[in-house]
Amino acid sequence: MDFGSILNALILGVSIASIWLIAALGLTIIYGAAGVINMAHGELIMLGAYSSYMLQYYLGVPYLLCIPASFVIVALVGLILERGLIQYLYNRPLDTLLATYGVSLVLMQGVRLIFGSDPKYLAVPEIFSSNLSLGFLSISTFRVIVLLVTALLVLALWLLFYKTRFGVQVRAVMQNKEMAASFGINSSRVYMLTFALGAGLAGVAGSLFGVLNIVLPTMGASYVVQAFLMVVVGGGSLAGSVVASGVTGEMQSVFAFFTNDTFARFLIFVLIVVFLRFRPQGLFAKAGTRR
C-alpha cells in the first residue's frame, strides 16, 4: 500500500465527516437548544431534497439556488411544526419523541401520496459530476461542495451563537429557561426560531444528499441514525458534533481502507457504544440545568 492511497483515504475521511456533520447539524441545534429529540429529522432532510426537486423540475431554478431555497422552505415547515405541535410538548420528552415520530410518518406518506414512491432525480451542473485531481490525489467536485457548505454553515452557526444578541439569548435559555425568562427573554420565541433554524439546516442537507444519493420518500431514514449518533457522542453542542463527525468520518474511511465497508461500520458502532459506556454525557456536555 502506498502513501498516495492512504492520503486519499484521509481526504475521503474528511468528506465523509462533512456528510455526517451536515446531516447532524440541524438535529444538534434542536436537541442542544430546545432539548427536543426530533425523530422527524430524517424526513426534514427528505423534504429538503424534494423541495430542491420541485423547484428544479417545476420552476427551473438552477441547482445552486435550490440549496438556500430548500433552507427557507424546510425552515417554514419547521416553524409550522413547532407552533402547531412541539410548543405544547416542551416539558414532556417522551411525548415529543412519539409526536415527532408520528410527524415523520405523516411527512413520509404525505410525500409518497403527492410524488409517488418512484425515485426522483436532481440535475446538477456538468462541472459537479466530475472530480478534482492533483497527482495521485483525487476527490469528486461535489464532495468538495458539500465540505464547503458544511464549513460555511458551521462558521455561520458559531457566529450566530457567540457573536449576536440572539445567540446570547439562545445560550441563556439553554442554561436556564426560567432565569432567562425573568431577565425578559421570550423563551417561546427562542425555541420557535431555533427549531425553524434546525429544520432549515436539515433542508440544506437534503438538497445536497439528493445529488449524492437518490430522492425517495424513505431516504431520510438512512441518515437519521448516524445524525443521532453524532449528536449523542458530541453531547449536543456544536463543537461536540463537529469533533464527533470528524473522528467517526475519518475512522469510517481508514477502517474501510484497511478492511472493508461492513467491518468499518461494525467497528465504529462498537467503539461508540464503548465510548458512551464511559462517557454517557458525550464529548462536550454543557454544564447547566437540563429540562
Partner 1 sequence: MDFTRRKLLKTAGLASGALLAPHIWVPSEARAAALKKGEPLKVGVLFSLTGALAVPEEDSTLVLQYAFDEINKAGGVGGVPVEPVIVDAKSDFNVYSEKTKELILRDKVIAIFGCYTSASRKAILPTIMQRDHLLYYPTCYEGAECTQNTICTGPLANQHSKDLIPFMVQNFGKKVFFVGSNYVWPKESNKNAKIWLEQAGGELLGEEYIPLGSSEFGPVLNKIRDAKPNFIFSTVVGASDIAFHKQFKQEGFKVDQMPIASLTTGEIETRAMGAEFGAGHFLSAPYFQTLDNPTNQKFVEGFLKSPYGKNGTTHYNMEETYLSAYVFKSGFEKAAAAVGFENVTPRAIRDHSGGIRVEDAVSPEGLIWIDDQNFNTWLKPKIGQCQADGTFKIVKAADAQVAPDPYSIYPDIGVCTKDGLKAPDGKIRKNVI
Please give the residue ranges that form the binding site for partner 1 (CB under 8 A): 5, 8-9, 12, 15-16, 19, 109, 112, 116-121, 123, 128-131, 133, 138-143, 209, 211-214, 216, 218-219, 222, 252-253, 256-257, 260-262, 264-265
User: 216 by DSSP, 3-state: which?
Assistant: coil
Question: In angstroms, what is the minimal distance from the CB of 110 to partner 1?
Answer: 13
Q: Name the residue nearer to partner 1 (CB basis): 237 or 253.
A: 253
Question: In angstroms, what is the minimal distance from the CB of 147 to partner 1?
Answer: 12
Are 151 and 208 within 8 A, CB to CB? no
Q: Name the residue nearer to partner 1 (CB basis): 91 or 259.
A: 259
Q: Name the residue nearer to partner 1 (CB basis): 176 or 222.
A: 222
Question: In angstroms, what is the minimal distance from the CB of 81 to partner 1?
Answer: 23
Among residues 106, 120, 109, which one has the least CA distance to residue 53? 120
Are 199 and 78 within 8 A, CB to CB? yes
Q: Name the residue nearer to partner 1 (CB basis): 12 or 22.
A: 12
Q: Name the residue nearer to partner 1 (CB basis): 175 or 259.
A: 259
Question: In angstroms, what is the minimal distance from the CB of 130 to partner 1?
Answer: 6
Write the burial class of residue 159 (CB in 10 Å: 0-12 exposed, 13-18 middle, 19+ buried).
exposed
Q: Which residue has the cell 440535475?
A: 123
Cα–Cα distance list, 96 to 56, 196, 212 (Å):
34, 16, 31
Q: Name the residue nearer to partner 1 (CB basis): 65 or 212.
A: 212
Residue 212 makes CB contacts below 8 A (sequence gap 6+) with 19, 142, 146
Question: In angstroms, what is the minimal distance from the CB of 94 to partner 1?
Answer: 18
| Cα distance between residue 199 and residue 195, in whole Å | 6
Question: In angstroms, what is the minimal distance from the CB of 183 to partner 1?
Answer: 45
Residue 88 makes CB contacts below 8 A (sequence gap 6+) with none
Type of residue found at 135? G
Q: Name the residue nearer to partner 1 (CB basis): 109 or 164.
A: 109
Give backbone dihedrals phi and psi of 64, rounded to 5 degrees, phi first. -60, -30
Question: In angstroms, what is the minimal distance from the CB of 55 to partner 1?
Answer: 17
Among residues 51, 72, 71, which one has the least CA distance to residue 122? 51
Question: In angstroms, what is the minimal distance from the CB of 119 to partner 1?
Answer: 4
Are 25 and 154 within 8 A, CB to CB? yes
Q: Name the residue nearer to partner 1 (CB basis): 9 or 34.
A: 9
| Cα distance between residue 233 and residue 43, in whole Å | 22
20, three cell numbers: 455526517
